[in-house]
Amino acid sequence: MNVKLVIGNKNYSSWSLRSWLLLSEAGIDFEEIRVPLDMPGTAEELRKHSPAGRVPVLLLDGHTVWDSMAIAETVAERWPDCNLWPEDAWARAHARSVSAEMHSGFSALRASMPMNCRAMGRKVPLPDALTADIDRIFEIWSDCQHRYASGGDWLFGRFSIADAMFAPVVLRFRTYGINLPQSASTYPARLLASKSMQKWLLSAESETEVIEHEELGR
């Protein structure tokens, strides 16, 4: 099977990370096509791969799939042996619910704390809307840790699509020094210790492009 994944800058692109981590942790071989974002030729280059003109894009045997959730569902269907959703029906529904919430929500967090792997130690104000987003994420992680810890150290025991969806939040909290309560600490620690995440961070930190509007608080 010919699998290619089009991504943006590893330092900045949270949506790219979700699909890249999913394929990497699932053990699926793929060719990475990196298109630096916010460059003069970026839009034209991305339109070669997707009508939406955005990353990530999965190119699978001549077919194009875009949007991180669509990519995740497609990968889960095409590689069922990877068990990228929990086997239990109610756990699976729970994983889908929190993944969808992450995909469509947390606007204050996205706006106030852009993903920037290189910007360790940055601080941002914590207005009520941002604090509410952070508290809700802690609530999700704590609940998953309480319910599924017996199966492993990912959100639902073993690695799932939900982990890929929340991975950029872990990096945001790492960048901006957000302290984690003990009840929500297992998953972030597991993610940061993974070989896939270490590989992503190494590449992100070696990138040289700078996207000015993502450099809040410089």
Q: Does domain 89-202 have CATH number 3.60.10.10?
A: no
Predicted local distance difference test score (pLDDT) of residue 215: 78
Q: Which sequence spans correspond to the domains of the chain? A: 3-81, 89-202
Mean pLDDT by 10 residues, the chain (218 residues): 96 98 98 95 92 96 96 98 98 98 97 95 95 98 97 97 98 97 96 98 94 67
Side chain identity at 114, as an amino acid letter? P
pLDDT given for residue 216 in this prediction? 60
Which of left, alpha, beta for 134 (phi over 0: left; psi -120 to 50: alpha)?
alpha
CATH topology of domain 3-81: Glutaredoxin (3.40.30)
> CA 111, CA 116: separation in Å to the nearest integer?
13
The span from the CA of 98 to the CA of 129, in Å, is 19
Q: How far is CA 212 from the centre of its chain?
A: 21
∠ CA(70), CA(166), CA(68), 5° rounding? 15
Residue type, 203: S
Task: For residue 22, give every residue at least 6 positions away whose Cβ sits within 8 Å of its Cβ, in sequence order, or none.
Answer: 71, 72, 75, 84, 161, 164
* 150's tokens: 């017996």
Using CA atoms, how far apart are residues 43 and 29, in angstroms rounded to an integer? 27
DSSP 8-72: --TTT-HHHHHHHHHHHHHT---EEEE--SSSTTHHHHHHTT-TT--S-EEEETTEEEESHHHHH
Strand order in the sheet with 57-60: 31-34, 3-7, 57-60, 63-66
Strand 31-34 versus strand 3-7 pairing type: parallel
Q: What does each C-alpha distance from 137 to 15, 29, 141, 156 come to in angstroms?
A: 17, 31, 6, 15
User: What confidence score (pLDDT) does residue 218 get?
Assistant: 39
What burial class does residue 60 get, using C-beta atoms within 10 Å of its C-beta: 0-12 exposed, 13-18 middle, 19+ buried? middle
Write phi, then psi, for 209 (nearest 5 degrees).
-70, 145
Return the pLDDT at 163. Answer: 98
8 A C-beta contact, residue 95 and residue 161: yes
Q: What is the pLDDT of residue 209?
A: 87
In this prediction, residue 217 carries a pLDDT of 46
Say whether pTM exceeds 0.85: yes
